[in-house]
Structure 1
Amino acid sequence: MFDDFLVRAGLAGVGLTLATGPLGSFVVWRRMAYFGDATAHAAILGVALSFAFGLSVYVGTVAVALGMAVTVATLAGRGHAMDTMLGVLAHSALAFGLVAVSFLTEVRVDLSAWLFGDILAVSRTDLAVVWGGSAVVLALLIWRWQALLTSTVNEELAQAAGLDPRRERLVLTIALALVVAVAIKIVGALLIAALLIIPAATARQFARTPETMAVGASLAGVGAVVLGLYASLRVDTPAGPSIVTAAACLFAASLPFAGRRA
């Protein structure tokens, strides 16, 4: 019989992949990989502020991640070089977060748990937050699915159809901030982007439609969670990195099938 903590870890990972599958697909389609990375790095600053002001880590992380995402989107819209701006903000936010944590002498903070995740320490409350947050993100994406697809394919086409591409970018921004907040305890700030991108990239080798790619990305994520947790249990490796390693192995296994879609 599986231990209770392992069941909670598996349920948390599966719940997270319900959101990271379709959201990661949009990250891949829109080439937003670095955008996701910057938002995830900013989450460490959110963790530090949460401890400093006695807030829930989830609240602080959502606030900072959302602030980072909105800032980047605003600056990019004003003509700033996107990749440069993302690099500056991502590393600056991570550095500020690490420095801020060093001042919290009255609070013991294990940064490795927030940088690389600690899925085996997920509580029942964390489980409820993960599933609740993933459900909100999934509902948001389903609600705006067609509009998001249209603006992803061609913003001019979206405008001709009466859609506002900026609003759709905001939807993705909010969804990304929520996913970062619920994922940080599972895979950590440094690995969140990997869980968004790698399963989606794996599913892309087989998908014929956007919908099948979104579902396939979630399934690939579930497979990575199961394999990663099994490997972590068998060979005593860190759970978060093991999940991402399993995802990378699944991606490598999918490469021979690239270009074989009908």
Structure 2
Amino acid sequence: MLDDFLVRAALAGLGTALAAGLLGCFVVWRRMAYFGDAMAHAAVLGVALSLGFELSIFAGVIVTALAMAFLFLSLTGQGQSADAALGVIAHGGLALGLVAVALIPGQRISLDSYLFGSVLTVTRLDLAIIWGGAVIVLFVIWRHWQSLLTATLSPDLAYAAGINPRREELVLTMMLALVVAVAIKVVGALLITALLIIPAATARTFARTPEGMAMIAIGIGGLSALGGLQMALLLDTPVGPSIVCVAVACFMIATISGKLRA
């Protein structure tokens, strides 16, 4: 069954939606959209380094994303404003990645598949990496769910409960790096943030509890992945952008229905 490239593409989309939908809730609650965007842009540098040194794209992207995340934490810890630090990391990482690709000897390399995704070319190994990453994200968030929620709601309350908000931020940062690394094959570096934010923002319209919002976000992410794949097959459009278009359509429907119920 896994010899069918469409089945592999669908499974890859669902695995990415599982991780991105769950983690996206914390991105929305903490207003970290620009942080996710910065890591996704910096992932292009990881792709360039992987191609230049003939390493695994997954390994290169996750190492680079983690390095950029720690750089951000270091800069903000030294008094640099968060938006300025993120701007430097996002645009600096993207520019360095593009320059690095241009300097790789030999034939010119196209970054289109890494910028916008190439889910139809997912291999069995890619599928194992994507679902392995999704399971790790699911397990870590499950283990840290209450402490992450408390630290998100109030750092002071977290300290009073014996929770270190800085440690929980580090956990969240590492999981974001992992999601960026596994999602780059599905939707590409430029669209990863959309898959993190839009399903979670849509789920907030219907959810009554944080747990409910997480489950709905995962469902909307899965629906967007499968719907985008179907749309791409019917209209002959790029799969990554098609997935995001379906997610945006879900958001618009949720927004309109929310206003009608009000």
Instruction: Tell me the TM-score range normalised by the shorter chain.
Output: over 0.9
Counterpart of 1:132 in structure 2 is 132
Please give the residue correspondences for 1:71-150 in structure 2 after superposition, counting only pairs within 5 Å.
Answer: 71-106=71-106, 109-150=109-150
Range that drifts further, 72-81 or 200-209: 72-81
Counterpart of 1:220 in structure 2 is 220
Q: CA deviation at 1:62?
A: 0.4
Cα distance in 1 for residues equivalent to 2:244 and 2:226: 11
Alpha carbons 1:208, 1:261 under 8 Å: kept: no
The runs of 5 or more residues in structure 2 that have no matched partner are none
Work out the percentage of aligned pairs sharing the same amino acid: 58
Q: Describe the SS at the equivalent of 1:187.
A: coil
Q: Which amino acid aligns with 1:177?
A: A
Counterpart of 1:210 in structure 2 is 210
Q: 1:31 to 1:225 in 2, by over 3 A?
A: same
Q: Which amino acid aligns with 2:109?
A: V
Alpha carbons 2:2, 2:8 under 8 Å: kept: no
Counterpart of 2:182 in structure 1 is 182
Alpha carbons 1:199, 1:217 under 8 Å: kept: yes
The runs of 5 or more residues in structure 1 that have no matched partner are none
Please give the residue correspondences for 1:1-262 in structure 2 after superposition, counting only pairs within 5 Å.
Answer: 4-106=4-106, 109-258=109-258
Q: Which amino acid aligns with 2:133?
A: G
Q: 1:23 to 1:260 in 2, by over 3 A?
A: farther
Alpha carbons 2:102, 2:108 under 8 Å: kept: no
Cα distance in 1 for residues equivalent to 2:90 and 2:228: 27
Q: 1:261 to 1:17 in 2, by over 3 A?
A: farther
Q: Which amino acid aligns with 2:250?
A: L
Cα distance in 2 for residues equivalent to 1:261 and 1:52: 54
| Equivalent residue pairs, number | 262
Q: Deviations over 1:203-262 (max 9, x none)?
A: 000000000101110100011011111110001000000000110010000002437899
Q: Deviations over 1:131-174 (max 9, x none)?
A: 00110011110010000000000000000000100000000010
Q: CA deviation at 1:75?
A: 1.6
Alpha carbons 2:2, 2:124 under 8 Å: kept: no
Q: 1:261 to 1:127 in 2, by over 3 A?
A: farther
Q: CA deviation at 1:35?
A: 0.2
Q: CA deviation at 1:88?
A: 1.7
Cα distance in 2 for residues equivalent to 1:78 and 1:109: 38
Q: Which amino acid aligns with 1:184?
A: I
Cα distance in 1 for residues equivalent to 2:238 and 2:254: 24
Q: 1:253 to 1:2 in 2, by over 3 A?
A: farther
Q: Which amino acid aligns with 1:155?
A: P
What TM-score results when the alignment is normalised by the length of structure 2?
A: 0.96
CA RMSD of aligned residues (A): 1.8
Alpha carbons 1:206, 1:257 under 8 Å: kept: no
Range that drifts further, 249-258 or 172-181: 249-258
What TM-score results when the alignment is normalised by the length of structure 1?
A: 0.96
Q: CA deviation at 1:85?
A: 1.5
Q: Which amino acid aligns with 2:229?
A: L
